[in-house]
């Protein structure tokens, strides 16, 4: 066995599929709808959340025995807020254009339910190493869905991927556009992100019937 024990590896792989924060727990939907019109923004958002959740989980885990349980939500908020501000400043310093695209949604990572959820559900009761893995795993599960949604929305909505015109030029009428193809403007609107997430949920649950909730 390599770096991770089987149990530890499960902390990372579980949230990628069978316990995905977006498609199974249905958390963090707001940001998944808001920033996935472009693949690049989705990737940056995924990395930002991974940084915040990975570090935040470790910090909370280290402090878990000294936080009075009555004020633990406030402590958690302070930790997330501090980390989000750091991420925001880094983005502004090194990639200003992108931080403008993401605009308020970087700040709103604070309100991302996945983060507070993992603090409450995992970091408060587990050691720092495990918490770190859990944080990375959940952020990766979140990021995976963001990237899938961003891929389809940018490809079908703008005909580009990461800004490259993969389907041809809509104004010059080259590539697919020469035969009459047009971009689907609906893909750029938020409702379509919800529908794409819904389709992912549908596909996932019909492949693994155990995930279907019974009502």
CA 38 – CA 50 distance, rounded (Å) = 19
Which positions from 140 to 179 touch other proteins by CB under 8 A, shown as an x/- string? ----------------------------------------
Residue (78 or 172) nearer to other proteins, CB: 172
| Residue 180 binds to other proteins (criterion: CB under 8 A) | yes
Question: Does 189 contact other proteins by CB under 8 A?
Answer: yes
- Pick between residue 127 and residue 198 the one whose CB is nearest to other proteins: 198
Residue 102 CB, nearest distance to other proteins (Å)?
24
Residues 192/14, Cβ–Cβ less than 8 Å: no
Binding-site size for other proteins (CB under 8 A) equals 11
Q: Which is nearer to other proteins, 19 or 184 (CB)?
A: 184
Of 182 and 213, CB closest to other proteins: 182
Q: How far is CA 76 from CA 13, 21, 43, 122, 157, in A?
A: 25, 19, 25, 13, 38
Name the one range near other proteins by CB under 8 A: 31-39, 110-118, 143-151, 194-202. 194-202
CB–CB of 36/150 below 8 Å? yes
Minimum distance between the CB of residue 72 and other proteins, rounded to whole angstroms?
Answer: 39
Restricting to residues 195-214, name those near other proteins by CB under 8 A. Answer: 195, 198, 202
CB of residue 52 to other proteins, shortest distance in Å: 33
Give contact residues for other proteins (rule: CB under 8 A). 180-182, 184-187, 189, 195, 198, 202
């Amino acid at each position: 066995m390599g770096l991770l024990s089987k149990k530890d590896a499960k902390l990372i792989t579980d949230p990628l599929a069978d316990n995905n924060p977006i498609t199974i727990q249905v958390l963090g939907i707001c940001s998944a709808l808001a920033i996935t019109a472009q693949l690049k923004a989705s990737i940056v958002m995924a990395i930002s959340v991974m940084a915040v959740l990975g570090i935040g989980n470790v910090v909370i885990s280290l402090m878990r025995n000294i936080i009075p349980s009555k004020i633990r939500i406030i402590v958690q908020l302070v930790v997330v807020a501090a980390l989000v501000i750091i991420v925001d400043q880094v983005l502004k310093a090194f990639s200003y254009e992108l931080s403008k695209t993401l605009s308020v949604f970087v700040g709103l990572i604070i309100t991302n339910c996945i983060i507070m959820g993992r603090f409450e559900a995992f970091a408060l009761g587990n050691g720092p190493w495990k918490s770190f893995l859990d944080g990375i795993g959940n952020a990766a599960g979140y990021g995976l869905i963001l990237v899938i949604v961003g891929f389809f929305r940018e490809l079908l909505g703008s005909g580009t991927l990461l800004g490259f015109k993969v389907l041809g030029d809509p104004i010059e009428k080259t590539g697919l556009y020469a035969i009459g193809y047009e971009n689907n403007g609906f893909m750029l609107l938020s409702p379509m992100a919800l529908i794409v997430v819904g389709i992912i949920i549908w596909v996932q649950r019909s492949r693994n019937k155990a995930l279907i909730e019974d009502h």
